[in-house]
Structure 1
Amino acid sequence: MSNNKPTALIMKYLYSLILELGEKPDSLLSRLSYEEAMDWMNRLKRQAKEKAKAFQNHSSFHEQSVRAIDTSDHKELAWLGNQLSLTYYGRPCKVPIEWDKSLKNAAGFFAFNQHIHKPIRIVQSMWQYNQFGAQHVIGTLKHELAHYHLFIEGKPFRDEDEVFKQECKRIGAPLYALAMQEGYETSCAACGTFVGLEKKERKKLKSRCCKEPLRFGSYVLIFPNGVRVEVEK
């Protein structure tokens, strides 16, 4: 069995598929070789494709085929959101679906006015798209569409509501956004104290403890559940 490391992109995609299909990520993720990660990812992709087919109407849209999204304007994102809305709910989304370049602490959100019961828009983080790819955006849009459709139907629609959780499970939407940490593990060259993660190896950086250069170690992903995975950048 090969012990070569999976790439960061493969592990991000694998994690998003695990959440999308309602499986629980566990410590096994930290021990996967490249081949094992690819096998698991391909198996989940087939499952996700089969699940999506169960909801397909007469539209020719297939969400698993989306590999890249134009971020120069909102048009393609809005089109994707409407295709998902038609596929899973049989009706369009009638609010704007827009990119947000500065949103980093969330994958996206559904904006609404509770007082006059009016949906306003769905927002998708462009930063998270650049981090995790198109399939993460698909999952986020499905999550936000579940908020939107439950809201306009007058049903419980918040993250903590059981109705919402069941709706996400029904359409294969993740319950939570990805919030991964990624970078080289760094430590103080003098005392060995762990300093943090750095995306790039920079010789000029120094530790706060001893004011000495940093030692750069393995490149890792740390998943939202705390699992640490050594990967190829």
Structure 2
Amino acid sequence: MTNQELTELVEEISLTYFKKPFVHQAFFNRRLKTTGGRYHLKDHHLDFNPLVFEKYGKAELISVIKHELCHYHLHIAGRGYQHKDVDFKRLLKATGGARYAKPLAAPKSLFCYQCASCQTPLYRQRKVDTKKYVCGRCRGKLIFIGRKTYDHSIQQTG
């Protein structure tokens, strides 16, 4: 999908769901890493992460477009356009936009260590020199266990 096709899709969704025209530009921005889209307050254009379309398809892209159009139309109307505002939450629910984009980041790989004395697990993004560093709880020797992949899409509660 090109930027021109994206802009036409945004214009169509704006007229269909918001009954208002979208008169600015929409672009794909590969520099976006963790967010699905972005609304620019100064010049009113929209950026979208192309990974949303590539990984999840057109349906997910449309829900992200609805989310960004909520920011767009509320800001232009002078109403509450931020995520915390009641106007934004109501409009987002009415149009069926996504509250959050699906996870886009690749799973992280962590280095796993365990204390030889107290058996406490230790996870680090960078490798630790086990000859130099010791356990923070009991000062015991650290043993390298292996690498573990941590997926950000899994939500932990508690």
Residue 3 of structure 2: aligned partner: 74
Q: Any unmatched runs of 5+ in structure 1?
A: 1-69, 114-118, 197-205, 228-233
Residue 169 of structure 1 is matched in structure 2 by: 93
Q: Which has the higher contact order (CA 8 A, sep 6+)?
A: 1
**Displacement, 1:142?**
0.3
Deviation digits for residues 178-213 of structure 1, max 9, x if unmatched?
4465437544477663345xxxxxxxxx83243897
Cross-structure match for 1:125: 49
Distance in 2 (alpha carbons) for counterparts of 1:160 and 1:82: 26
Task: Measure, in 2, the Cα distance between the counterparts of 1:157 and 1:224.
Answer: 29
Alignment partner for residue 71 of structure 2, among 139, 147, 158? 147
Runs of 4 or more above 6 Å deviation? 211-214
Instruction: Give the whole-Å Cα distance in 1 for the aligned partners of 2:103 and 2:68.
Output: 17
More helix, by proportion: 1
SS of alignment partner, residue 105 of structure 1: coil
**Which residue pairs with 2:138 in the alignment?**
none
Q: Percent of pairs identical after alignment?
A: 23
1:88 pairs with 17, 26, 34, which one? 17
- TM-score, length basis structure 1: 0.50
Count of aligned positions: 141
| Length-normalised TM-score, structure 2 | 0.69
Matches within 5 A, 1:212-231: 215-217=146-148, 221-223=151-153, 225-226=155-156
Q: 1:148 to 1:224 in 2, by over 3 A?
A: farther
The one-letter code of the counterpart of 2:22 is: C
Please provide the CA RMSD for this pair.
3.1
Rounded to whole Å, the distance in 2 between the matches of 1:176 and 1:109 is 12
Task: Structure 2: state its 5+ residue gaps.
Answer: 116-120, 132-142
Residue pair 1:190, 1:210 contacting (<8 A) in 2 also: no
The higher radius of gyration belongs to 2
1:208 and 2:138 equivalent? no
CA distance in 1, matches of 2:93, 2:5: 26
